[in-house]
Chains A and B, each alone.
Chain A
Amino acid sequence: MTRFMILRLLQLFGVLLAASAIVFFSLRLGPFDPSSQIQEATLGDPERIAEVRAYWGLDQPLIVQYGKYLSGVLHGDLGRSLQDSQPVSRAIGDRLPATIELAVMAMLIGTTFGLGMGVLAAYKQDTALDVGGRAAALVGISFPTFWLGVMAIAIFSVKLQWLPAGGRFSSELDFEPTTGFYVLDGIIQGRLDVVTTALKHLLLPALVLGLLVAGLVTRITRAAMLEALGKDYVRTALAKGSTARSAAIKHALPNALLPATTILGLMFGLLLSGAVIVETVFAYPGMGKLLVDAISVRDFPQVQASILVLATIYVLVNAVADVLYVVIDPRVRLA
């Protein structure tokens, strides 16, 4: 087990190092190459170009630049934004809690619905409930997230006016965040108005994102549950006088949940991908919106840092999921 953990950790560092190199070098190949931007910004004045290049450290060989960048990253310095020369880590520090809050909320909604739907659909196989559950799951994975977001705004914000159409918070409320997680901050500061406002802004984007997760979880859970229900141990339990319901809950369900944990990493990738889109639809100030905005103004240090942070989170979550899987399932450990 220790060996497995150490190997996994080493692999994790290797992957992150390679990922950082890919992001760093590829961004310098395309239209993001900072020298072309400097050319535009300085109107081609050679002296100014040299000055700006030296300021950003672009006069050194690429590999040296990468080395410096890497050592900066390890010291928590992700570079400075081309727009306002502020450290990009500051913008990321502001935005990351927003995305995590959204992802956690979406995950809660998605797994609750997905697990429930998946188990019920399998238990009541080929009934109306099963067909309905499968149809809902199909909608979750096939309907474009961004369009569902626009329709959710059209219905719940414009027509019914129940929920805000976008943003993360209401500017009318006087509120100073402590942790950056607004719902948590509201609870810590004992302010109900902050909690409800934050939740209201969170609900629509989290529902839209949650639907995507629910679709995936329903499908996997249903398949796993059907397989478990057909196993000998369920038949044995039934033969020994167990009711169908208790056999399903006590014997099939724990075994069916196992495959569900393997898609944890996959699901998180879906959440991060989805967050980029959902945050754009709802103008929700998270990491995804930060990335999309940075791309539109060609702010390459910001693009680079945002992608790297998102990839790092993804890789870390996947590693944790791997370890978790080994902890939960002894068979994997022995193999």
Chain B
Amino acid sequence: MRFLKGRLPRPVAHAFSDTVTVVAGSVVALVILLALFAPLLTPYDPAEQDAVRSLENPSWSHPFGTDQFGRDILTRILYGARISLMIGFGAVAVALVAGLVLGILSGYYRSVFDVVIMRSIDVALAFPLIIFATLVVVVLGSSAVTVIFAVGISLVPLFTRLARSVVLSLREQEFFEAAVSVGCSDARMMRHHVLPHVFPLLFVQATTAIGLAILSGAALSFIGIGVQPPTADWGRMVSEFAPLVFVHPYLSLYPGLAIAMTAVACNLLGDGLLRAFDPTASRVVA
């Protein structure tokens, strides 16, 4: 990675010098590529059923075997990566944007914004994460989009609090006071003095939250209220294989390991970036 030196912001370069982070990043990249090129990698359709080929053992034509509906498991794993990544990145994007806006409103403008936003966050935090997400999905109906939204909303408090605390600490600094006293407009303050400080920290928090979002989305699918069949989803696959545990105990290894591997890689990548950006920070899992 030496060729990258000097071309990247220092923390990113630092993260690239850590083997574990590089490996984790490569795994995440690999999963993204597999998801993108899924149609080119497999001749099968993830939803196409074939009753004759139900529950076949692994073979050359079906490397992971087939499920109870005769669908190729490997194909469903590849397509399932799309859903998982969409939920992971989508939910975190929702939380990042909402948290950024709410946190800055709350910390920068204070007054009534601060009171209303922070009290609302307190109420949202009255619900444990999965239970809050469950409520949102139940109200909006089950689909991949509502799962993204539900998990995203559940993560908003995490990002809002972080953004607010960063803005509050900025307010104490001299450059900030100086900018205010020379009459910077709010827009200019945002562009030059608030966002450049808040965004990197929230971005790092976002990378650490992707694993959590993927796990939460899969959990919602597993309990039957998330992504609906016949869409290929890893969490849903584990729940479809669960009743077969007495005959084919290890079928759920495939989707389970796919989720686990992706979540571990995301978490390690997030940890690595967090260490690189802020060596003193200890990570909090919501």
Residues of A with Cβ closer than 8 Å to B? 11, 14-16, 18-19, 22-23, 26-27, 29-32, 138-139, 141-148, 150-151, 153-155, 158-159, 165, 216, 219-220, 223-224, 263, 266, 269-270, 272-274, 276-277, 280-281, 291-292, 295-296, 303, 307, 310-311, 314-315, 318
Distance, CA A276 to CA B222, complexed state (A): 11
**Interfacial chain B residues near A16, Cβ < 8 Å:** 126
Q: Which residues on the A side are within 8 Å of B140 (C-beta)?
A: 30
- B123–A296 CB distance below 8 A: no
Interface-central residue, B128, B211, B219, B250, by most chain A CB under 10 Å: B128
Partner of A292, one of B223, B264, B267, B286: B223
Q: Are A142 and B249 in contact (CB under 8 A)?
A: no
Residues on A with beta carbons closer than 8 Å to the beta carbon of B260:
139, 142-144, 147
Cα–Cα, bound, A190→B39 (Å): 63
Q: Which residues of B contact A142 (CB under 8 A)?
A: 211, 215, 260, 263-264, 267
- Residue B69 interfacial (CB < 8 Å): no
B249→A158 contact, CB < 8 A? yes
Q: Which of B's residues lie within 8 Å of A, judged by CB? A: 119, 122-123, 125-131, 134-135, 138-141, 211, 215, 218-219, 222-225, 235, 238-239, 241-242, 245-246, 249-250, 252-253, 255-256, 259-260, 263-264, 267-268, 282-286
Question: Please, how many angstroms separate the alpha-carbon atoms of A311 and B135 in the complex?
Answer: 11
Q: Once bound together, how far apart are the Cα atoms of A263 and B286, in whole Å?
A: 10
8 contacts across the A-B interface (CB closer than 8 A): A138-B264, A138-B268, A143-B256, A144-B235, A146-B222, A276-B130, A281-B242, A310-B127
- What is the bound-complex CA distance between A291 and B126, given in angstroms? 17
Contact, CB under 8 Å: A311 / B238: no
- A123 CB, min distance to chain B CBs, angstroms: 17
Q: Are B128 and A151 in contact (CB under 8 A)?
A: no
Interchain CA distance A215-B65 in the complex, whole Å: 33
With a cutoff of 8 Å between Cβ atoms, the chain A residues found around residue B283 in the complex are: 219
A141 CA / B270 CA spacing, docked (Å) = 13
Pairs of residues from A and B, 5 with the lowest C-beta to C-beta distance, nearest first:
A147-B256, A154-B249, A273-B130, A30-B139, A269-B128
Question: How near does chain B come to A245, taking the closest CB pair, in angstroms?
Answer: 24
Count of chain A to chain B residue pairs whose CB atoms are closer than 8 Å in the complex = 152
Contacts of B263 in A (CB 8 A): 142-144
Chain A residues whose C-beta falls within 8 Å of the C-beta of B242 in the assembled complex: 150, 281
Verify B130–A277 contact, CB threshold 8 A. Answer: yes
For B282, list chain A residues within 8 Å (CB): 219-220, 223-224
* Residue from B123, B252, B264 in contact with A147 in the complex, judged by beta carbons closer than 8 Å: B252
| Contact with B135, one of A23, A219, A280 (Cβ below 8 angstroms) | A23
- B124–chain A nearest beta-carbon distance, Å: 9
State the Cβ distance, A137 to closest chain B Cβ, in Å: 10
Most B C-beta atoms less than 10 A away, residue of A14, A155, A295: A295
| Chain A residues, Cβ within 8 Å of B245 | 150, 153-154, 158, 165
Interface of B is mostly: helix
Say how far A46's CB is from chain B's closest CB, in angstroms. Answer: 27
Chain B neighbourhood of A158, CB < 8 A: 245-246, 249
Say yes or no: B223 contacts A280, CB within 8 Å.
Answer: yes
Q: How far, in angstroms, from A303 to B133 measured CA to CA in the complex?
A: 14
For residue A303, which residues in chain B have a CB less than 8 angstroms away from its CB? 138
Quote the shortest CB–CB distance from B245 to chain A (angstroms): 5
Given A273-B129, A281-B242, check contact A141 B135 (CB 8 Å): no
Given A138-B267, A295-B138: A151 touches B256 (CB 8 Å cut-off): yes
User: Nearest A residue to B262 by beta-carbon distance?
Assistant: A142
A101 to B282, CA, bound (A): 31
B249 touches A314 (CB 8 A): no
> Which residues of chain B are near A216, meaning CB under 8 Å?
285
Chain B residues near A292: list those with CB within 8 A. 223-225
Q: Are B267 and A141 in contact (CB under 8 A)?
A: yes
How far apart sit A307 and B215, CA to CA, in the bound complex (Å)?
21
A residues less than 8 Å from B131 (CB atoms) = 272-273, 276, 291, 307, 310-311
CB pair B246–A314 under 8 Å, yes or no, is no
Whether B138 pairs with A27 at a CB distance below 8 angstroms is yes
B250 neighbours in A (Cβ, 8 Å):
154
B126 touches A144 (CB 8 A): no
Residue of B128, B211, B219 touching A310 (CB-CB under 8 A): B128
**Whole-angstrom distance from the CB of A135 to the nearest CB of chain B?**
10
Residues of B near A18 (CB, < 8 A) are 119, 123, 126
Taking a contact as CB atoms under 8 Å apart, the answer to whether B134 and A144 are in contact is no
Query: A30 to B134, alpha carbons, bound, how many Å?
Result: 13
Chain B residues with CB under 8 Å of A14's CB are: 119
Please report the C-alpha to C-alpha distance between residue A224 and residue B260 in the assembled complex, in whole angstroms: 27
A25 — nearest CB in chain B belongs to which residue? B139
CB distance from A8 to the nearest CB of B (A): 12
Contact B138 A280 (CB under 8 A): no
Tell me whether B249 and A311 are in contact (CB under 8 A): no
Instruction: Return chain A residues, CB-CB under 8 Å to B225.
Output: 292, 295
Task: Point out which of B119, B125, B141, B268 has the most chain A C-beta atoms below 10 A from its C-beta.
Answer: B125
- Whose C-beta in chain B lies nearest to the C-beta of A159? B249
Q: Given A151-B253, A154-B245, does the pair A315, B126 have CB atoms closer than 8 Å?
A: yes
Supposing A295-B225, A307-B131 touch, asked if A19 and B139 sit within 8 A by C-beta, the answer is no
For B285, the chain A residues whose CB sits under 8 A away are: 141, 216, 219, 266, 270
Most buried by A among B139, B263, B282: B139
Name 11 extra pairs, CB < 8 A, besides A32-B139, A219-B285.
A19-B123, A22-B123, A30-B141, A138-B267, A143-B260, A143-B264, A144-B263, A147-B255, A154-B245, A314-B127, A315-B126
